[in-house]
Amino acid sequence: MTEPLLEALRLKKAFDGLAAVDDVSLTIAERELVGIIGANGAGKTTFVNIVTGYLKPDSGQVRFRGGDITRLTPREITRLGIVRSFQVAQLFPDLTVLDNALIALAVAARTEGSFFRPLKRYELVEQVFGLLRGFAIDAYAAHKTAALPQGVRKLLDIAMAMSGRPRLVLLDEPTSGVSKDEKFLLMDRLLEALVQSGASVLFIEHDMELVERYAQRLIAFNEGRVIADGAPAAVLADPQVRAFVGGAPGKQPQGERPTSDALA
Ligand SMILES: Nc1ncnc2c1ncn2[C@@H]1O[C@H](COP(=O)(O)OP(=O)(O)O)[C@@H](O)[C@H]1O
Ligand SMILES: [Mg+2]
C-alpha cells in the first residue's frame, strides 16, 4: 500500500475555549479530488490554516509524504509541496498578469534551491506563458491585475501558486465572489489544470451543485468534527449532513461572515 499524501491525526484547535477543530483525522491520497462542505463556522478554514502552517494545533499531528510537518512554518510547508488559495487573491494590482506571475515563478525557483540554475528572463517568460495557458488565461498577460474579471483573478492566483509544482492544493471557497454563471467555467478550468498537474486537490465549497459535479470524494464538517467522509452521493444523502449543512443541491449558501482567512 502506498502511504497517504496527507494525514491529519486527531487535530484540535480551540479559540477562547471554543473548539473550532475538534479531533479531526483524515487522509488524502495522491491525485485525489476532494470536496469539503460544512456550514459557516464548521472549522473548514481553520483546518486548512493548520495544514498550511498558518495556525498551530493545540494537539494532533499533520503528516505529509510520511513526515511530520505540524510545527513547520507556512513557507517551509509550501516548499515541501502544499499550496493554498485565499478567498481574496493575493496579487500586485498595479502590475500586469505577466509580471505578477514572473514574480511568483522567481520566488518559487529560488526556494526550490540550488540544484536549479538561475533562469534567463526569456525562459521565465516561456514558463509563465505555459502556466497561464494551462489555466486558459494567457490572453490576459498584458492586463493589469486590478482590472481583471473576478474569475480570471482567481485562476491567476492559483496558477501562480502552481509555479512551485506543489503536490497538494488547498482551495478555500475558490468560487466565492464569482457569479453563478461563471462558477462552472471557473471550476472547469481550475480543476482541469490542477488535475493535469498531478496534484491532489482539496476544495472547500458552499454550492452543492458544484460539489456534486466536481468532487470525487466528499468530507462534511460540523462543529469542528468530520461527520461524513466518502462518495459524494452517499455523503449528500446522509441525514446528519442534510440536517447540518442544509445541502440540498441548488440551495444558496448562507451569508458570508468573517472567517479566519483574515489571518493570512
Ligand atoms: N482567528 C480566530 N480567532 C478566534 N476565533 C476563530 C478564529 N478563526 C476561526 N475562529 C472561530 O472558529 C470557528 C470555525 O471557523 P472557520 O474555521 O473559519 O469556519 P468555516 O471556515 O467552516 O466557516 C468559528 O466559530 C470561528 O468564529
Ligand atoms: Mg471558511
pLDDT tens series, the chain, 264 aa = 578 999 999 999 999 999 999 999 999 999 999 999 999 999 999 999 999 999 999 999 999 999 999 999 999 999 999 999 866 667 899 999 999 999 888 877 765 554 555 667 788 899 899 999 999 999 999 999 998 998 899 899 999 889 889 999 999 999 988 888 889 999 999 999 999 999 999 999 989 999 999 999 999 999 999 999 999 999 999 999 999 875 444 444 444 444 444 332
Question: Quick one: which atom of ligand 1 is closest to the CA of 55?
Answer: 1
Ligand (nearest to CA of 176): 2
**How far apart (Å, rounded) are the C-alpha atoms in residues 205 and 48?**
13
Q: Is residue 241 part of a domain?
A: yes
> Rounded to two decimals, what is the model's pTM?
0.87
CATH number of residue 209's parent domain: 3.40.50.300
Pocket perturbation via mutation, ligand 1, pick of 24, 259, 261, 263 by most ligand atoms within 8 A of CB: 259
Q: Is residue 117 part of a domain?
A: no
Q: Is residue 59 part of a domain?
A: yes
Q: Is residue 139 part of a domain?
A: no
From the CA of 237, how far away is ligand 2's center (Å)?
A: 23
Query: How many domains does the structure of the chain reveal?
Result: 1
Sheet holding 168-172, edge to edge: 82-85, 168-172, 200-204, 33-37, 217-222, 225-230
Question: Which alpha helices (H) appear in 116-251, and where do they start and end?
Answer: 121-134, 150-161, 180-197, 208-214, 232-237, 239-245
Q: What H or E segment, with its residue span, contains residue 20? A: strand 18-28
**How far apart (Å, rounded) are the C-alpha atoms in residues 44 and 49?**
9
Question: Quick one: which atom of ligand 1 is closest to the CA of 221?
Answer: 22
Q: Is residue 252 part of a domain?
A: yes
- 190 touches 174 (CB < 8 A): yes
Q: Which residue has the cell 536549479?
A: 116
- 134 touches 163 (CB < 8 A): no
**How far apart (Å, rounded) are the C-alpha atoms in residues 122 and 130?**
12
Range of the domain at 41: 6-91+149-263
From the CA of 255, how far away is ligand 2's center (Å)?
A: 12
From the CA of 47, how far away is ligand 1's center (Å)?
A: 10
Measuring from each residue's beta carbon to the nearest atom of ligand 1, which residues come in under 6 Å? 15, 20, 38, 40-46, 259-260, 263
Q: Is residue 122 part of a domain?
A: no
Instruction: Give per-residue burial for 15-34: e unless 16+ CB within 10 Å, then b.
Output: eeeebbbbebebebeeebbb
From the CA of 252, how far away is ligand 2's center (Å)?
A: 16
Q: Is residue 249 part of a domain?
A: yes
Q: Is residue 121 part of a domain?
A: no
